[in-house]
Structure 1
Amino acid sequence: MAAKAVVLHAAILAATFVGAPAVAQTNDPNLSQKQIDCLNRTTAAGADCDEDGVRNGGGKSGAGNASGGAVFLPALIVDLFPNPPARPTPAPAQPSGTAPPKGPTSTPAPAPPPSGPITPPTGLNLAAPPRAVSGEFVPDEVLVTVAGDAGAVQQIATTLGLQVRSQRQSRLLGTTLVRYGIPDGRPVGVVLAQLAADGRTQRREPNHIYSLQQAAGIVNYAFERIALDSKQASGENVRIAVIDTGIDDTNPALKGVIAGQFDAMPNVPIKKRDHGTSVDGLIAGVGALEGIAPGAKIYHARAFEGGKSSMDVILSALDWAAEQDVRIINMSFVGPKNDLLGTACRNARALGMVLVAAAGNNGPKAPYGYPAAFDGVIAVTATDAKDGLMPQANRGAYVFLSA
């Protein structure tokens, strides 16, 4: 019962803060009509929907359909008990003979820009047409996983006229993650196509922007809706990571609750702590604001300020969470589809972690929101103060629960 209560709590948390429009998104332009139909399970697709068709579209089937290779909610819950699964050794994320970085050292300070002007390259080979980039993203950066050492990272930058703004070994990606700057104003889609011509680059993505699902104008009613039997609800010995805003760890409701903290954006001053504090309190708060899984230990990663974060920062927070050997990761944010995020989520699931994310507050006709729409992530949409489905709540076959 303790483990079930914790995962139910996490589902509630993902949909607790509601109402604010998330980032503008567009549907994946690479989807065929058949794939769109398969994702939405329309009658037009019918029995022709196969596993590949659904997965190539980036979605996942609903809990009521047994096809499509989806990971269903019962399978995710059963991971939590009776005993933690054996943890496979992740792919090496660092050169042989070195230990993986721990805690705040896993995100080094951005490398200083190279001295002198950068000459824009000419005559670069395009391995593919310039990519159409959807959603909100940092306009002068790209994220790339690179096979090779620091020398290879710099050679790629020199060849393509880019700046190495940061690089680190990613635990969940199993390789070097580089944040390249684009100093000459080339479109992100063009640079991604140019990078594809270099065989040392493995994955190439925009540095997408993600938004917390929060609204300052709506009173938090979540604590009032908790109606658990306190004798049966328990989170004892369950380690939960929360990726959110900063927190007020002096709040009496969090006394003895926070087992570890990590700041994934240390160079950005903390201005707001209310969202993260509320989420942690809803999980394992004590005293007057008792949480839904009392006794759980929270590993809190600060990755949002002003309701926004970037893919690079979120991946840093996820890597840290994986290093803490947590059982559940709560992600109350939504943004565009990004292959790096999808890979990190897939590898976290392979390590036995249960992932819970907000489906989004963009309305019933909105495109799928990520990371919630990735296979293996419990997607949760929102209910209102009267337990009805909230009008702004995202809907779709990828949603597991509303809470």
Structure 2
Amino acid sequence: TGPVTVPQGLNLAEPPRAIAGEFVPDEVLVTVDGDAGVVQQIANSFGLQVRSQRQSRLLGSTLVRFGITDGRPVGVVLAQLAADGRTQRREPNHIYTLQQAAGIVNYAFDRIALDSKQASGENVRVAVIDTGIDDTNPALKGVIADQYDAMPNVPIEKRDHGTSVDGLIAGVGPLEGMAPGAKIYHARAFEGGKSTMDVILSALDWAAEQNVRIINMSFVGPKNDLLGTACRNARALGMVLVAAAGNNGPKAPYGYPAAFDGVIAVTATDAKDGLMPQANRGAYVFISAPGVEMVAPSGAGSDVVTGTSFAAAIVSGAIANLIHASPERSADDIEKALAATAKDLGPKGRDNDFGYGLIDTKAAEAAK
């Protein structure tokens, strides 16, 4: 494709954007109204390189990843692109991080009022966006309905986190998950604990196409309008979205996607219902669930895991039980029932530490 030349006299359509959070320094994500020809014209007009483009179901338009080859700051390029009416949304390619804080019936069953003998998520479809998994782990035997690799050009090295999350939701055998019988649709979107917005959006679109009822997102990053739109549209399609509140401490900024409206933000508590000290706090925290020192499948064996990532998995499993018991329940209904029946922890009512409190699966199932 040769070197990219930047046209002279590009004006800023708006002031350069200040960008919060970590992002890819030489890329922007843009939704475009038009075909590949239009995308190339925009690239030529603004001196950008087309690195990838695809039709996004959840965004309802073409999502383009443009490369900046001349060192212009991302904020400047976003401001320049605002001049072109064919670009709809213009965002940085933000970076997101898995939420694992760094060994048996899981104590979670008891804490969340779920009878391990009766627990079932049979045939409930749950999407998980995470690392790769170790399919040889006996806890995942027959659990994974389908897999999608959203970063096929990056070899899979780390499989622990995704294996733990899938296992906590629907594991079988000695390390039984919260919702045995649930069908996991697993999208691999992380390596080395990191992912980017374009990769996560690709995983979300795939999940939406699998007709899942629940999407588990055990990761955190900056606020990004594309992710917000995708989550809003997934929720409008009836999917329950569950996300980790974050492990970045009491003074950390809000973690996304958890902090978007319509996403159930889960914080982590221990066996005595105490808050995990490194949990994020804030008005967005919706519900608490066990996430401290739980035994979970990991790699080919098991490990003791801690983090809001794993608390989110417990909540996804609990919700799969609710859907299995009453398949007609809507996402709104489930969210309201969880809020109304949670066991209050901390200050009375909803608070920034525990949200509405500890999830009570039995009570939520009864709250019709």
What code does the residue aligned with 2:251 have? K
Structure 1 Cα separation of the partners of residues 199 and 94 of structure 2: 10
Structure 1 Cα separation of the partners of residues 252 and 190 of structure 2: 23
* 1:121 matched to 2:4: no
What secondary structure does 2:192 align onto?
coil
Structure 2 Cα separation of the partners of residues 307 and 363 of structure 1: 18
Deviation at 1:381, TM superposition (A): 1.1
From 252, 255, 267, give the equivalent of 2:153.
Answer: 267
Aligned partner of 1:234 in structure 2 is 120
Deviation at 1:318, TM superposition (A): 0.2
Aligned partner of 1:223 in structure 2 is 106
- Preserved contact between residue 17 and residue 79 of structure 2 (Cα < 8 Å): yes
Structure 2 Cα separation of the partners of residues 374 and 198 of structure 1: 28
What secondary structure does 1:399 align onto?
coil
Aligned partner of 2:16 in structure 1 is 130
Aligned partner of 1:364 in structure 2 is 250
* 1:145 matched to 2:35: no
- Preserved contact between residue 105 and residue 175 of structure 2 (Cα < 8 Å): no
Deviation at 1:222, TM superposition (A): 9.4
Structure 1 Cα separation of the partners of residues 96 and 240 of structure 2: 20
Report the CA distance shift for 1:261/1:222 in structure 2 as closer, same or farther (over 3 A).
Answer: farther
- Preserved contact between residue 109 and residue 115 of structure 2 (Cα < 8 Å): no
- Mean alpha-carbon deviation: is it higher for 277-286 or for 179-188? 277-286
Report the CA distance shift for 1:222/1:402 in structure 2 as closer, same or farther (over 3 A).
Answer: farther
What secondary structure does 1:382 align onto?
strand
What secondary structure does 2:97 align onto?
strand
Aligned partner of 1:21 in structure 2 is none
Aligned partner of 1:377 in structure 2 is 263
* 1:174 matched to 2:57: no
Deviation at 1:156, TM superposition (A): 0.3
Structure 2 Cα separation of the partners of residues 199 and 223 of structure 1: 54
1:315-366 deviations in whole A, cap 9, x for unaligned?
Answer: 0000000000000000000000000000000000010000000111111222
Report the CA distance shift for 1:222/1:299 in structure 2 as closer, same or farther (over 3 A).
Answer: farther
Matches within 5 A, 1:5-154: 114-115=1-2, 117-154=3-40
Report the CA distance shift for 1:129/1:259 in structure 2 as closer, same or farther (over 3 A).
Answer: same
Aligned partner of 2:236 in structure 1 is 350
Percent identity between the aligned chains? 88
TM-score scaled by structure 2? 0.76
* 1:289 matched to 2:172: no
What secondary structure does 1:280 align onto?
helix
Structure 2 Cα separation of the partners of residues 223 and 165 of structure 1: 45
What secondary structure does 1:365 align onto?
coil
Aligned length: 286
Q: Which runs of 4+ in 1 moved over 2 A?
A: 221-228, 384-387
* 1:310 matched to 2:196: yes
Aligned partner of 1:320 in structure 2 is 206
* 1:183 matched to 2:66: no
Deviation at 1:385, TM superposition (A): 4.5
Structure 2 Cα separation of the partners of residues 318 and 189 of structure 1: 26
What secondary structure does 1:180 align onto?
strand
Structure 1 Cα separation of the partners of residues 262 and 73 of structure 2: 33
Structure 2 Cα separation of the partners of residues 254 and 200 of structure 1: 45
Structure 1: gaps (5+ residues) = 1-113
What secondary structure does 1:158 align onto?
helix
What secondary structure does 2:269 align onto?
coil
What code does the residue aligned with 1:160 have? F
Aligned partner of 1:76 in structure 2 is none
Deviation at 1:205, TM superposition (A): 0.2
Structure 1 Cα separation of the partners of residues 269 and 116 of structure 2: 23
What secondary structure does 2:69 align onto?
coil
Aligned partner of 1:23 in structure 2 is none
What code does the residue aligned with 1:223 have? N
Aligned partner of 2:287 in structure 1 is 401
- Preserved contact between residue 55 and residue 61 of structure 2 (Cα < 8 Å): yes
Structure 2 Cα separation of the partners of residues 211 and 121 of structure 1: 36
- Identify the structure with the greater strand proportion: 2
Deviation at 1:145, TM superposition (A): 0.2
Structure 2 Cα separation of the partners of residues 208 and 178 of structure 1: 14
- Preserved contact between residue 105 and residue 176 of structure 2 (Cα < 8 Å): no
Aligned partner of 1:159 in structure 2 is 45
Report the CA distance shift for 1:376/1:222 in structure 2 as closer, same or farther (over 3 A).
Answer: farther
1:178-205 deviations in whole A, cap 9, x for unaligned?
Answer: 0000000000000000000000000000
What code does the residue aligned with 2:57 have? R
Structure 2: gaps (5+ residues) = 290-368
* 1:211 matched to 2:97: yes
What secondary structure does 2:106 align onto?
helix
